[in-house]
Chains A and B, each alone.
Chain A
C-alpha cells in the first residue's frame, strides 16, 4: 500500500499510541515494582504509613542502614535454602525438555505422515487430554503412588510432567512436520534409507527451528507447573514454584514475605532472559497452531 493511503489522522495516531503505552505500563509495572521492592524491608514494600516509603526506603534505611538491602535474597537463598529448589527445578526442566522432545518428534512425525483414521483419533484424544485440568490427573496419581512408594521423588515427577506435556508437544510438532514436504523423506527412502534413517538424517536437520520452539514451550510448561510439583514432591525435593508457595503458607515471621518476594524475583528473571533471546521463536510457536488451523 502506498504511503499516502497509509497516513492516519493525527487524533487516531495519538489515541492508538496512547492505548499501547497504557497497555505496556499495565504489563510491565507490576514486575518493575516487585523487583524494586525486593530490595526493601517489609515495612517499606507493604507500607501502612505512606506509599512513597517504598520509593525512598525510609524504613529500610532505619533498619539496615542503607536504602537498599539484600536481606530478602539472603534469607531466601541461604537461610531457607532456595538454591536447593533452583537445582531441583533445573534437573526437572532439563530432563522434561529432553525426554518430551525425543518422544514428541517420533510421535509427531508419525502422526504427520500417516493418513489413517487412528492417527486422527490419537490427535483428538490428545486434544481432550490437553484440556484436562492437571489437578484432576494428580488426584488419580496420589493414592497409587503412595502405595507403590513412588511419591516424592524427582524421576516420578519428571515422567508425569513429560506425559502431561505430550499432548501439547505432539500437536505442535505435528503441525511443524506437516510443513516439511513429504517428497524429502520419500526420496531419501528411494535412495535406500529406512524410515528411521530418513527421519534421523533428512527430516530432523531441517526441523531444528520447530524442535527449538517446541522445546521452549516444554520448558515453560515444566518451569511454570504448580499443580503437579506441589502435590507430588516431598519437601526436600521441592522445586521453585511450590517452595515460593510454602514461604507464604508456613509462618508469620517478620520478613518472611520478603523472602517470598525475593524468591519470586529470582524465579522471574530466567523467564525474562528467555523471552529476550527467543522472542521470535515464542511468537512463531504461539501462531504455529493457529495459522495452520
Chain B
C-alpha cells in the first residue's frame, strides 16, 4: 500500500490516539512537575488594649487570582516524585540507616502510601495471573469432556463473571462477604466470632480482592484454552496413547506444550489487566486496607482539593511500570518482525 493511501486510511484513528492518548501523557508529564500554589499570606498588625500582635492571614482574593493566572501551579521540578507521598527518598534512606532488620524496613515501607500501593499492585498481578491460568486450564479440560449438549449453557454461565462490569461484579461479591451478607455471616458462624469482618482486616481484604480477581479473569483463560483444545491434533494424542502415555502424561506432554503460545498470550493480557486493578478496590471500598496505583491516582483526583501534581507524578511512574512490564514482549515481537522481513 502506498504511503499516501496508508496515511489517509490511518489518519482519523491516529488523530484520535494522538489527541487523547499521546498528548494527555505529555500533559501528565507537565503537570507532574508542578504543585499547587502556596496560599498567599499577608501579615497584619492587630493592636488591642494589650499591645500589638502580628497575625498571619490568608489572602483569599490574591490566592484565587494567582490560581487563575497560572492554573498549573508552581514549578516544582521532580520535587513531587521524591516527596513523602511518592518515592520518599529522604524517609527511605533514613529508614535504611536506622532500621535493624529487613522486616522492620519492610513494615516501614508499607507505611508509605506509594510503596503500599505498589506492593499491592505487584502482589495482585503476581498472584492472580498464575491462578487464573491454572483454573482456566482446569475448567477448559473439564468442559471439554462434557457431553456436547450441555457445553453451550456451561460456556454461557462461565462467561458471566468476565462480561459483567467489574464494578458491578465487585459489588455483588462485596455484598455477599460483607458482615451482614450471606457469606460474611456464614464465616462469622463458622469461626464463632461475631466481630469477624473481611472489610476490617488488611490480610482478609487482600485475600478477598485476589479471589475476586481470579473469579473475574478465569473465564477469559478458560475460553481461550477451550478454543485451543479444539485444535490439538488427535493423531498426536493417539500416537502418544499407543506409545503408552497415560491420561496425565498426554495432557502434560502433548496438550500443554501445544497450548504454550496461548498460555503466553493469556499471561500477557493478564499482566496488563491486573496491573491496572482499580474497580474492585472501589467496589469493596477497601482503600483503607488495600490501594493500588490506580486507586492512589483516583483518590488524589477526587479529594476536596484535587492534587493534580501528585496524581500526575504517580501516573508517570505507573506508565514507566507498564513499559517495563511490556518490554520483554515488545523486544520479542520486534525480533520476530525483523526475522519475518529478512
Contacts and interface: CB of A to CB of B under 8 A. Distances in A.
Interface of A: 1, 5, 8, 12-13, 16-17, 19-20, 23-24, 26-28, 30-31, 33-34, 37, 45-48, 51, 54, 102-104, 106-107, 109-111, 113-116, 119-120, 122, 124-144, 146-147, 159-160, 162-164, 166-167, 170, 195, 199, 220, 223-224, 226-227, 231, 241, 244-245, 248, 257, 260-261, 264, 267-268, 271-272, 274-276, 279, 282-283, 286-287, 289-291, 293
A37 B183 CA distance: 14
A115 to B, nearest CB: 8
B185 A47 contact: yes
Nearest to A240: B165
Contact of B319 (A19, A132, A167, A231): A132
Nearest to A291: B227
Given A51-B182, A139-B28, A27 B9 contact: no
Given A27-B219, A106-B9, A199-B9, 6 more contacts: A27-B157, A34-B172, A45-B175, A48-B185, A127-B329, A139-B301
Nearest to A30: B172
A120 B161 CA distance: 34
A207 B265 CA distance: 24
A268 B185 CA distance: 25
B31 to A, nearest CB: 6
A197 B158 CA distance: 42
A245 B172 contact: no
Main SS at interface, chain B: helix
A interface: dominant SS: helix
Contacts of A103: 12-13, 16
A110 B2 CA distance: 10
Nearest to B311: A139
Contacts of B138: 19
B95 interface: no
A159 to B, nearest CB: 7
Q: Which of B16, B181, B326 has the most CB of A within 10 A?
A: B16
Contacts, number: 285
B264 to A, nearest CB: 9
Range, interface on chain B: 35 or more
Which 9 residue pairs spanning A and B have beta carbons closest together? A140-B24, A163-B20, A107-B13, A133-B276, A110-B9, A46-B180, A136-B315, A131-B272, A287-B227
B21 A271 contact: no
A12 B167 CA distance: 37
Given A20-B142, A51-B185, A136 B265 contact: no
Given A114-B1, A114-B6, A128-B326, A267 B16 contact: no
Contacts of A134: 276
28 contacts: A8-B247, A16-B141, A16-B145, A23-B158, A24-B157, A46-B178, A47-B185, A103-B13, A110-B9, A110-B10, A124-B333, A128-B322, A132-B21, A133-B297, A135-B301, A136-B315, A137-B21, A137-B25, A139-B315, A163-B17, A199-B9, A224-B165, A224-B166, A224-B167, A226-B282, A264-B171, A267-B165, A291-B228
